[in-house]
Chains A and B, each alone.
Chain A
Amino acid sequence: MMNNKAKGLTMKIIGLAWACGAVFMAFLSPVMAGGMMVTDARVRSVNVQHNHTTGAFMVIANHTGKNDILLSAKTPMADRTEIHKTTITNGMAKMENQAGGIPIGSGKKLVLKHGSYHVMMMGVKSNITVGQSVPITLVFKNAGAVKINATGFKINHQKHHHKSHQHK
């Protein structure tokens, strides 16, 4: 039988382990929530004096253990946010709203990138600058709302940068 002192010590160790775990999870929380891991979240910079449309790109990895569907996205930075897919048919480009959502299988990655999917932000309310953190909430059918921050970036194809292909 464990005496009271030993019991107390065991509880302390368990408590400490929980605390460590909580701190560890808090540290990871910007990229992982509900098992949906979002990395490389970027949003193109925009000057609202001239344009009110921009888009966000990212990689979403489904570690929830369940198949899921990315249903929608929201941001306080824009009047309207949709999930779009760019398609090219017979040389004609079209950005189509994916109203039914995009499936993301268990253990699979969904890549939002140029020439494919992106989070379309319309009616952007204020400037988005390079390096700025833009809050976006992704809504999944099973995992629910996942809050992320996308970092402002600019495509730059001036002389010193043109080899780097900063767009993806």
Chain B
Amino acid sequence: MNIRKIYMLFLGLIFAVVGLNIYLANTYEDATRRLSIVPQFTLTDMHGKTVTLNDYKGKRVLISFGYTNCIDICPVTLATLSNILYDIQEQNPDSKHDYQALFITVDPERDTPAVLKNYITDTFHPNITGLTGTVDQIKHATESFNITFEKYGQTNDGHYSMVHSVYIFAIDEDGDYKTYFAHTAPPKTSLQILKKHFKGF
């Protein structure tokens, strides 16, 4: 095999890897579908403090929605957020940027600050905070992210689950919405998506 062939093979391999990464990122991310998002909320954090999105200005914020009685998607989403936060720390320990993840409940009737604190603390990354509020506050918050939620499968003995959005939203340090992606995106793909939108990762 001559040098030229080896060179072409090498180039082809690079294109294939880059192409695959772009394909994966596009599979999990579709920022253009939700351009109208102007995120805002006034909620109560898991320590009982009233917070708005403004309070997180200066930090890069990842936001997901779920509830603690969800036994499948929500813990996986929190694990994804944990992985992202740990991976950023490991890849860039001297980063000048602070990263914060917020888990906003869609089940405010059951998810009090204490319930969220028990669910998240000592299990997931310490920079993940749970937020709750009144039903109206949660509705207002979800509407600002252009998502919906509802009770589902209520039994006659009062048990129910929630139908809800499973996306992770990325907000920059100025409080501006940047993108959203699927909770199932592998850690590497999640980081690649975030790197596109957060300069100076």
Which A residues lie at the B interface, using CB under 8 A? 44, 47, 49-55, 79-80, 84, 86, 88, 91-97, 114-115, 118, 120, 122-123, 154-159, 162, 165, 167
Contacts and interface: CB of A to CB of B under 8 A. Distances in A.
B76 A115 contact: yes
Contact of A157 (B71, B78, B114, B163): B78
A167 to B, nearest CB: 6
A102 to B, nearest CB: 16
Interface string B116-150: 00110011110000000000000000000001100
Give the 5 A-B residue pairs with the shortest CB-CB distance, closest first. Answer: A157-B82, A55-B71, A53-B69, A122-B159, A50-B118
Nearest to A52: B69
B14 interface: no
Interface of B: 68-73, 75-76, 78-79, 82-83, 86, 114-115, 118-119, 122-125, 147-148, 152-153, 155, 157, 159, 161, 163-167, 182, 184
A157 B125 contact: yes
A115 B155 CA distance: 23
11 contacts: A44-B75, A47-B118, A54-B71, A55-B72, A80-B155, A80-B159, A91-B166, A94-B163, A95-B72, A115-B73, A158-B123
A60 B182 CA distance: 29
